[in-house]
Amino acid sequence: MYSKFRFNGFSNETLSSIANSAKKALKDFEFSSFLVGCTFPNSISDDGKQLLRKEFQPLLVKKLEKELNAMADFENPDIELIVNFDQDVLFIQVKPFFIGGRYKKFSRKITQTRHYCFECKGRGCKKCNYSGIITPESVQSLIEKHALPLFECREAKFHGAGREDKDVRMLGSGRRFVLELVEPKKRSVDLKALEEEINSVEGKKIEVSGLRKCSKKEIPLLKAGKNNKVYEVVVLCEKEIDVEKALRLQELTLIVKQRTPLRVVSRRSDKVRERKAKILSVEILSQKKAMFRIEAEAGLYVKEFVSGDNDRTNPCLSVLLENKCNCTELDVIEIKES
């Protein structure tokens, strides 16, 4: 976003013109802080530029503080202003608003984030019914549906601390996330009310908790976390389960060598990874079905730990039970955060 101003030397008239230009451009935006920088003409010497930064720029900051009814902030401003004296243009960047929180996902039919059509890359085509997306609903879209109108912005970016498959429920205390709202016009939103609204309307599919304002600095920390997870997996066996053999697996800790699963190898490097897994408990549900509670190191593909994935994962439950196994239901019930 940009706005023109009238340059009349480094004078009070120029200060007023810049302030009025900023005020007009930002009249629909709610903010309490700003940062201003100046690009001075190349015709001015380095010493002259230094003098302007020392004497003129502080006057500009004071003028903007008065006219915009906001405070200068050098650390985390809501708005960034760049005054270009070569072009007599004021460039304006509205900084994102970040919401941190946790989500639970109760549906096995929604993804974490919006998936764009691979064919048209989101532009819209016959394959995606001209919508540009292949996931009608996601955790991201269900939260955005309520957040975007309140913040009066058109788009947001979703950052999760890892992700689960579409058919996997996220339970327990939930998974941490940050929602980045792009160019919001409103910032003084009641996040507790937003949380209650999402849970009231979307509660059969998702639930959010602990919504709070946060900063961009949380995103890399979110992405860098490598936390163990506890899963509950319902396993269907080809033959009747040897109950004694199955129950002996309780408390067994394994080092699993896992080659990139066939279902994701087309988009991830094909290599062997070692991950630790511990079988916490086994519950026999029927002659051919059992529920396993498993604590797994970050990065273990649990579905393949069950099946073996054509011998790409070893050991696996199919080998341990000497019985061909498949995962029919999978839930994340705890993320062990340090």
Distances (CA, A) of 158 to 41, 67, 235: 40, 35, 32
Q: What is the pLDDT along the chain (338 residues), one digit of tens a residue?
A: 999 999 999 999 999 999 999 999 999 999 999 999 999 998 999 999 999 999 999 999 999 999 999 999 999 999 999 999 999 999 999 999 999 999 999 999 999 998 777 677 677 787 777 777 777 899 999 999 999 999 999 999 999 999 999 999 999 999 999 999 999 999 999 999 999 999 999 999 999 999 999 999 999 999 998 899 999 999 999 999 999 999 999 999 999 999 999 999 988 899 999 999 999 999 999 999 999 999 999 999 999 999 999 999 999 999 999 999 999 999 999 999 87
> Taking Cα atoms as reference points, which of 312, 302, 242 lies closest to residue 277?
302
> Taking Cα atoms as reference points, which of 228, 227, 197, 224 lies closest to residue 211?
197
Residues 6 or more apart whose Cβ sits within 8 Å of residue 33: 70, 71, 72, 73, 76, 77, 78, 79
What the chain holds in terms of domains, given with CATH numbers, is 2-94 (3.30.2130.30), 97-224 (3.30.70.2510), 228-336 (3.30.70.3190)
Q: Does the annotation mark 165 as catalytic?
A: yes
Task: Please tell me the predicted confidence (pLDDT) of residue 180.
Answer: 98
Query: What burial class does residue 76 get, using C-beta atoms within 10 Å of its C-beta: 0-12 exposed, 13-18 middle, 19+ buried?
Result: exposed
Whole-structure pTM value: 0.91
Residue tagged active-site, from 73, 88, 165, 167 = 165
The CA radius of gyration of the chain, in Å to the nearest whole number, is: 27
Residue 9 Ramachandran class (φ > 0 left, ψ -120 to 50 alpha, else beta): left
Task: Please tell me the predicted confidence (pLDDT) of residue 106.
Answer: 98
Task: Please tell me the predicted confidence (pLDDT) of residue 121.
Answer: 67
Torsion of Cα atoms, 289 then 110 then 211 then 300, to 10°: 50
